[in-house]
Amino acid sequence: MTVPAVDPRISCRRSKALNSSLTGRSIVFVAFPRLRPVLAPNMPADRNKDVELSAKSLAKSAKAGRIMTDVRMAASIMQDAFPVGPGRNVGTAIYEIFEALKAHERSLPREVLRERNRQWTERRVRALWKKEARRVDHYEIQDLTAIAVEEARRERQHLKARQERLDAIIASAAASELGEVDFEEVQRFGGLDLPGARFTDADERADQSRGWGR
């Protein structure tokens, strides 16, 4: 409980008024001690309990937020490195990630694997992909990052080879008077990832002696 202090200016004005009204009389002034605010030394028990519960709730919320952030990070790494698209659905992506993780896991020393809580499973990969995991260990983020980097390198190499083949098509068409493309020359760059680029059964240059009726 706080007790308000007495304003000394009010006391002074009252003293002057009393002095003027009692001129010629004997006045005795009694000094009163200045009142100071007094704070209760201890908070009620219920208030202490509420503060303690609030602190625990905040700590729990912070931990949950950090875990959710790790889960989102793991899912983001996988979905960026192995995006779903034509020729790759969610099941295919999860399988490719699992195979990449197992290959990476086999390359690690045994001492490192013994210190881990678990080995990679397809079920674990699926839980991370769908953000259903309750927690993510640090080594899991490291493994996912490693396979994402490897996949990025492989994809870059693939795109570079594809770019070279596309340049070969353009160059072949530009060199021909009729704008034709010499696909036999293009094949030297590893073939094409385009429909109709390879020989078909109806191509006169292909071997027609086998494969009929399939």
Q: Residue 157 has what pLDDT? A: 94
pLDDT tens digits along 42-95: 555 555 555 455 555 545 555 555 556 899 999 999 999 999 999 999 999 999
For residues 15-44, give the mean pLDDT: 52
Closest CA to 191 of 209, 160, 208, 166: 166
Closest CA to 171 of 180, 162, 159: 180
DSSP sequence for the chain: --PPPPPHHHHHHHHHHHHHHTTTS-----PPPPP-----SS--HHHHHHHHHHHHHHHHHHHHHHHHHHHHHHHHHHHHHS--BTTB-HHHHHHHHHHHHHHHHHTS-HHHHHTSS----HHHHHHHHTT--S---HHHHHHHHHHHHHHHHHHHHHHHHHHHHHHHHHHHHHHSTT----HHHHGGGT--SSTT-S--TT-TTS--SS-TT-
Amino acid sitting at position 104: H
- Does this model's pTM top 0.85? My answer is no
For residues 104-122, give the mean pLDDT: 94
* pLDDT of 136 strictly over 90: yes
pLDDT tens digits along 173-187: 887 766 676 666 666
Q: Residue 204 has what pLDDT? A: 43
Q: Residue 173 has what pLDDT? A: 80
How crowded is residue 93: how many other Cβ atoms within 10 Å of its Cβ? 19
What is the rounded average pLDDT for all residues in the chain?
A: 73
Q: Dihedral (C-alpha) 120, 121, 125, 131: value to the nearest 10 degrees?
A: -100
Residue 4 contacts residue 37 (beta carbons within 8 Å): yes
pLDDT tens digits along 14-23: 555 545 554 5
Q: Residue 6 has what pLDDT? A: 52
Closest CA to 117 of 98, 134, 133, 140: 140
For residues 94-100, give the mean pLDDT: 98
* pLDDT of 140 strictly over 80: yes
